[in-house]
Amino acid sequence: MPSKPRETSSEKILRLEAQLQEKNQEIATLKQNMKKKTEKKLIPQPDGQAGRADGYNLQKVMGLENDKERYCRLSRLTRLYAFKYLDPTKTIRKQDTGRLDTVKKILMEKFPFFARFQGGFPIHDLIKKNLQNSVNKLKRDERAEELAHKKDSNAKNTKPAANQKKNKLSRNFSDSEEEDSEDDDWSGSEDAEKSGSDSDDEPVQKKTKLQQASAKKTPAKNAKSNPPKRKVRDAEDDEVEPAPKKVNPTVDSVTTLTCGAFI
């Protein structure tokens, strides 16, 4: 039996390279098949956009239609991680794509729930929703603050006008007071005239009262001898000239001294 020709080194290398290439091709085929099988297990993204009429309900697609608590929790976690790397004052279209991919990768590694979805599309939808809500809230707050500032400015502008109106009313009131004071002075002069006339009659009234008081203090024996004096007082009150009668000189001197002392 003839012996086999001895294989040279170069031939051996070529043979092994051919085998290696065959094995690599086989490995690539197996990987591709595994990838296809894996992709079939992932939940695909529906057509359209989440939250739109012609789109889909994200909570339902995530299988959490009966677990709102978990859906809200995942939404909060997505927002917190996203706002660490993204600008909350901009929508998802204006974000940096590199940062957006970083957030998706971190969330898929941190929370395996998102790994069951093709491309982790729920992360993209949740980030989009949270950024849009943040921008809308920012715009509402800015408009509200602008209106509040305008209201403050209008209030400051109306205060001087109110003060001017108040001062005008105060001036009108003071003018009316001056007019009233002039009327009061005029009426006061009339009262002064009346008081002056009353003061002229005051000595007569005092004299009459003193005469009445002295008549009460006079002893009874003198009271019997003083009928002309009572008639004189009555005559003065009635403004009728009394009839001339004899008067006791002693009583007249006492009465005169008493009235003179008080007048």
Closest C-alpha to 245, from 222, 220, 227 = 227
CA–CA dist 112, 114 (Å, integer): 5
Grade residue 155 by pLDDT with cuts at 50, 70 and 90. Answer: confident
User: 90 or 223: which carries more pLDDT confidence?
Assistant: 90
**236 CB burial (10 A radius; 0-12, 13-18, 19+):** middle
**153, 170, 188: which is the final residue of a domain?**
153
Contact 103, 85 (CB under 8 A): yes
CA–CA dist 92, 131 (Å, integer): 7
For residue 247, the cross-strand partners are: none
Same domain, 68 and 132: yes
- Produce one character per residue of 99-110: b if its CB has 16 or more CB atoms within 10 Å, e if not: ebeebbeebbee
Residue 93 lies in a domain: yes
Counting the structural domains of the chain, the total is: 2
Grade residue 166 by pLDDT with cuts at 50, 70 and 90. Answer: low
Tokens of 94: 């204006």
Phi then psi for residue 50, to 5 deg, are: -65, 135
Helix (H, G, I), strand (E, B) or coil at 13: helix
Helix (H, G, I), strand (E, B) or coil at 123: helix
**Domain that includes residue 222, residue range:** 200-262
Residue 12 lies in a domain: no
Residue 17 lies in a domain: no
Residue 38 lies in a domain: no
Same domain, 139 and 214: no
Contact 263, 206 (CB under 8 A): yes
The tens digit of pLDDT for each residue in 42-80 reads 899 999 999 888 899 999 999 999 999 999 999 999 999
**114, 131, 153: which is the final residue of a domain?**
153
CA–CA dist 135, 128 (Å, integer): 11
| Mean predicted lDDT score pLDDT of the chain | 75
Same domain, 139 and 212: no
Residue 104 lies in a domain: yes
pTM beyond 0.95: no
CA atoms within 13 A on the CB side of 94: 8
* pLDDT of 255 higher than 90: no
Same domain, 139 and 65: yes
Residue 50 lies in a domain: no
Same domain, 77 and 146: yes
Would you put residue 137 in left (φ > 0), alpha (ψ -120 to 50) or beta?
Answer: alpha
Contact 124, 104 (CB under 8 A): yes
**121, 153, 185: which is the final residue of a domain?**
153
Same domain, 147 and 63: yes
CA–CA dist 51, 118 (Å, integer): 19
Residue 219 lies in a domain: yes
Closest C-alpha to 205, from 158, 154, 259, 159 = 259
Contact 211, 255 (CB under 8 A): yes
Q: What is the pLDDT of residue 188?
A: 44
Tokens of 27: 């490995």
Residue 115 lies in a domain: yes
Same domain, 62 and 149: yes
